[in-house]
Amino acid sequence: MAFNTLILGANYGSLVATKLLVAGHDVTLVCRPEEAELINAEGTRVRLPVKGESEPVVLDSRDLKGRLAAVTPEQADSSGFDLVVLGMQEPQYRAPEVKDLMHRIGRARTPAMSIMNMPPLTYMKRVPGIDADELSACYADAGVWDTFEPANMTLCSPDPQAIRPPDEQPNVVQVTLPTNFKAAPFEGEAATSILRQMQSDIEAVRHDVGGRTLELPVKLKVHYSIFVPFAKWPMLLTGNYRCVTPGGVQSVKDVVHGDPEGARAVYDWVGEVCLSLGASASDLVPFEKYAAAAQGLVRPSSAAKAVYSGAPYIERVDRLVQIVARQKGMRLAQVDEMVDRIDALLQENRRKSAA
C-alpha cells in the first residue's frame, strides 16, 4: 500500500522524502515559493554515500517510484495525508504562515512524526513524571503546538547527517553520515503500523546503479520505547551546543576530543537524566561510539553557526534538558554555564535584530 506523506521542510526533509519515494510512497514537500517552483520543475537530488562505492549514489526524485510535489505553507492541504513529517528546525514554525498550517494539521488529527532535534512540546506531554508546561519557555513559540494531541505525535531521532552544498541549487542534498532514523511509536497501533510498513518498504529497496543492485543506507527503524529518540540528547549537549564556546565557534570534533573528560562528564550526566525519565540503558548510545563518530564531525554544529551568525532563535534542547533535569533534582555546572552562555548570546542577537 502506498502512503501519502506531507513533509514540512525541503532541506533535511528531502532525505526522508527520497527514502519514501524510492520505496514507492508519495510525498508533498512544504517549502519556500522559490524552492517549490524549482522542485516542481526539476525534482530533488540526494547524494547518498554507499559502502563499497567510490562515488555517492545520486537519487533523482524524477526517477523514483513515488510521486513528489512541492507547495508553500499557504497552499498546503492539511487533510488527505496518512502521515505528516515535521522536518523544519523548531524556530521556523513560529512564522505566521507555518504556524497557521500547523494549527490546521493539528485539528485534522493526522499522525505527525517530528524529525527535529527539539522534541515537540506535545511529545513531551507523553513523558510521565514531568511538568511539560514548564518547558514552554524553551520554544520559540509554544503556541504552535496548541492544536496537537499527544496521541497523534511521535518523535524520530534525526541521526543521519545531511547538508545542502553551498555552491549548488537548493534542491540538492548531500548525506554526510548515512545512519538510521530511530522512531518512537505512536500511542495507538494504527498510526504506528504506518511507520512499520514504511520501515519494511524502505528496508526492501534495492537500487540499480550501472547494472549493479545496491542496498541503500539510511533506514527507518521503529522502536517500542518512547525514549529511544532521547539518545540524541547526550550527543547534542556534549557536541552540538558545546560548539558555542566563550572564544567563539568550534567544530564538534574539537569540543569532544579537545576535552574528552569534560565531554564524557556531560554525556554521562545527560544519559542519567534520560534514565531518570524511564529510559533503559539499551535506549542510549555508549559514549565511546559517539566519540568515534565525532572524529568525522569536523564542522561546527548548525546551532553554533546560527548563534554566531546572529540568529535570534535556535532549537534549545540544552535548555529543555536542563529544566527536565532540575525537575528530577539533577544539575551539572557545565550544562548551566552552557545554557547561560547561549541565553546571553541569543538575547543580544534579538536585541540587535529589533534595533
Domain ranges of the chain: 4-222, 228-354
Contacts of 76 (CB under 8 A, 6+ apart): 6, 28, 30, 101
Asked if the domains 4-222 and 228-354 are classified in one and the same CATH topology, the answer is no
Neighbours of 97 (CB within 10 A): 13
CATH topology of domain 228-354: N-(1-d-carboxylethyl)-l-norvaline Dehydrogenase; domain 2 (1.10.1040)
Q: What are the CA-CA distances from residue 46 to residues 29, 49, 59, 267 (Å)?
A: 14, 10, 5, 32
* Residues 255 and 295 sit within 8 Å (Cβ to Cβ): no
- Residue 168 sits at the vertex; the CA angle it makes with 26 and 219, to the nearest 5 degrees, is 40
Q: What are the CA-CA distances from residue 226 to residues 117, 124, 289 (Å)?
A: 15, 10, 22
Query: What is the per-residue pLDDT for 259?
Result: 96
From the list 88, 102, 80, the residue with the least C-alpha distance to 31 is 88
CATH of domain 4-222: 3.40.50.720
DSSP-derived secondary structure for 244-306: EETTEE--HHHHHHSSHHHHHHHHHHHHHHHHHHT--GGGS--HHHHHHHHTT--S--HHHHH
Neighbours of 323 (CB within 10 A): 17
| Mean pLDDT split into 10-residue runs, the chain, 355 residues | 96 96 98 98 97 94 97 94 97 98 97 97 97 97 98 95 92 94 97 98 93 94 96 97 95 97 98 97 96 92 96 98 98 98 98 92
